[in-house]
């Protein structure tokens, strides 16, 4: 499949006459053959990346075996400086950059620009999320690159896309959350809020990742690469589907804090011991069971204020009072036990530290260790793992750590490290 020899590669293409097999000269930056290869071993990704969206996409590719060469400016990916929470390292950078090789290039310098060309001549995939127009000004536009290397897959990540009135507008995660309407429906009735993680960046990175996988699959059939773009605005816009269609009612989903804006009961409820229990009732069958077997109030199920989900949402505050009147007689643990016994979904609100100590992670052996410039760090396995094949856990790189090795591999002369 994607694995290849150093100098030549065979492939197939679909034509009107059927499937043809052919080969072509191909200069590779490595790759190995093994019965236990990860799915993307043999794929080389060159990524001119910074911050979150593109690094998120390429880390997923690296976890599945792709070789990711991270091209950094002389001052480094600015995400390296977001904080110093991880023994002096940035929490964002640690999260997004394991399994990568870091090369420092000043792309405005002719010699370094030539190195970039060599990398792209040998690459399978090029990902970039520079500021609007920057890649084109550097001669790294998709059309120009694919004219030189027709098998190259080019992914351009941007805030708003390459056309339209917002094309050149700077875009960061919070600002995309604002422009897509996400902030308007997040938070409490009194105050809007952003999500606690970089939702727009992650959405963009996820679609870039799946786009690359799609393009790699297509190339196996056609022998040709492709170019595509992902905007954070479009990616998060896709996730705004429910609020958009909800607005057909003539109103928008209200900000509802920790409860669901369109399903009830679904959210936190106070218990008699001062704790909170989060629960969710998804359909009328569960609602009847909840009233009869958890609340011991079968008559509540048929109350005309609550006998259908839209009515429960419209009368959500009266519903909360009715439920908490019963819960006031029980502890959090007693409520959770009842919910579990009858199959009503529930959860505890945990802190980040409590999540890290979650028994489910330990029971499923989800923790691994990765090396870093600050020493070994615990890290989670990627969500997608292949049975019988351990995901890569290569170190988080220092800035420019692999510059000399990559230059030597390209046949160039190792230069003294930059200051």
User: If residue 317 lies in a helix (H) or strand (E), which one and from where to where?
Assistant: helix 316-327
Task: Measure the CA–CA gap between 374 and 207, rounded to whole angstroms.
Answer: 31
- Distance in angstroms (rounded) separating the CA atoms of residues 308 and 176: 35
Two structure tokens written together for 19: 């499937």
With beta carbons less than 8 A apart as the criterion, state whether 48 and 60 touch: no
**Given this model, what pLDDT does residue 25 score?**
33
Q: What is the pLDDT of residue 8?
A: 30
Q: Name the token pair of 105.
A: 């290039």
CA distance 334 to 327: 9
Quick check: 31 and 3 in contact, CB under 8 A? yes
Helices 199-222, 232-239: axis angle to 10 degrees equals 100
C-alpha 368/C-alpha 382 separation (Å) is 10
CA distances, 95 to each of 21, 103, 399 (Å): 41, 19, 15
Whether residue 280 contacts residue 266, with contact meaning beta carbons closer than 8 Å, is answered with yes
CA 241-247-252 angle, to 5 degrees, is 100
Cis link prior to 265 (omega < 30° from 0)? yes
In DSSP terms, 155 is beta-bridged to 127, 228
**Per DSSP, what are the bridge partners of residue 347?**
278
Residue range 5-55, pLDDT digits in tens: 232 333 333 333 333 333 333 333 444 444 578 999 999 999 999 999 999
Task: Say how far residue 152 (Cα) sits from the centre of its chain.
Answer: 23
- Sequence-separated (6 or more) residues with CB below 8 Å from residue 194: 173, 174, 177, 182, 183, 186
List of domains in the chain:
8-240+364-409 (3.40.50.10540), 266-348 (3.30.1540.10)
What is the residue-level pLDDT of the chain in tens, covering all 419 positions?
A: 444 323 233 333 333 333 333 333 333 344 444 457 899 999 999 999 999 999 999 999 999 999 999 999 999 999 999 999 999 999 999 999 999 999 999 999 999 999 999 999 999 999 999 988 899 999 999 999 999 999 999 999 999 999 999 999 999 999 999 999 999 999 999 999 999 999 999 999 999 999 999 999 999 999 999 999 999 999 999 999 999 998 999 999 999 999 999 999 999 999 999 999 999 999 999 999 999 999 999 999 999 999 999 999 999 999 999 999 999 999 999 999 999 999 999 999 999 999 999 999 999 999 999 999 999 999 999 999 888 898 899 999 999 999 999 999 998 654 544 44
The catalytic residues are: 260
Least Cα distance to 159 among 179, 184, 189 occurs for: 179
């Amino acid at each position: 499949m994607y694995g290849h020899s150093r100098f030549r590669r065979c492939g197939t293409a679909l034509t009107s006459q059927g499937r043809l097999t052919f080969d072509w000269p191909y200069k590779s930056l490595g790759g190995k053959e093994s019965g236990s290869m990860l799915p993307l071993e043999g794929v080389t990704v060159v990524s001119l990346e910074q911050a979150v969206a593109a690094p998120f996409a390429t880390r997923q590719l690296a976890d599945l075996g792709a070789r990711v060469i991270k091209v950094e400016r002389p001052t480094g990916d600015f995400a390296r400086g977001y904080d110093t929470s991880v023994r002096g390292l940035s929490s964002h950078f640690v999260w997004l950059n394991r399994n990568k090789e870091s090369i420092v290039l000043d792309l405005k310098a002719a010699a370094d620009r030539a190195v970039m060309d060599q990398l792209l001549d040998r690459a399978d995939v090029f990902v970039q999320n520079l500021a609007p127009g920057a890649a084109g000004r550097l001669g790294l536009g998709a059309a120009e690159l694919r004219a030189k290397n027709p098998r190259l897959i080019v992914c351009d990540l941007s805030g708003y896309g390459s056309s339209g009135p917002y094309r050149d507008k700077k875009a960061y995660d919070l600002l995309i959350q604002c422009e897509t309407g996400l902030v308007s429906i997040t938070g409490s009735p009194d105050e809007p809020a952003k999500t606690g993680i970089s939702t727009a960046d992650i959405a963009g990175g996820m679609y870039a990742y799946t786009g690359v996988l799609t393009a790699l699959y297509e190339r196996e059939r056609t022998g040709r690469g492709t170019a595509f773009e992902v905007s954070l605005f479009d990616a998060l816009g896709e996730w705004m589907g429910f609020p958009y269609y909800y607005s057909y009612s003539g109103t928008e989903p209200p900000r509802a804090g920790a409860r669901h804006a369109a399903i009830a009961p679904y959210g936190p409820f106070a218990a008699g011991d001062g704790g909170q229990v989060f629960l969710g009732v998804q359909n009328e069958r569960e609602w009847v069971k909840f009233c009869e077997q958890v609340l011991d109030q079968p008559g509540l199920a048929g109350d005309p204020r609550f006998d259908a989900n839209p009515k429960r949402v419209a009368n959500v505050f009266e519903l909360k009072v009715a439920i908490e009147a019963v819960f006031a007689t029980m502890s959090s643990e007693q409520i959770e036990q009842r919910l579990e016994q009858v199959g009503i979904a529930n959860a505890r609100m945990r802190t980040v530290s409590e999540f890290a100590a979650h028994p489910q992670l330990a029971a499923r052996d989800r923790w691994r260790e990765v090396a870093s410039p600050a020493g070994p760090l615990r890290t989670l396995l990627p969500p997608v793992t292949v049975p019988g094949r351990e995901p890569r856990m290569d170190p988080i790189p220092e800035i420019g750590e692999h510059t000399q090795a990559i230059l030597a591999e390209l046949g160039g002369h190792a230069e003294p490290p930059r200051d």
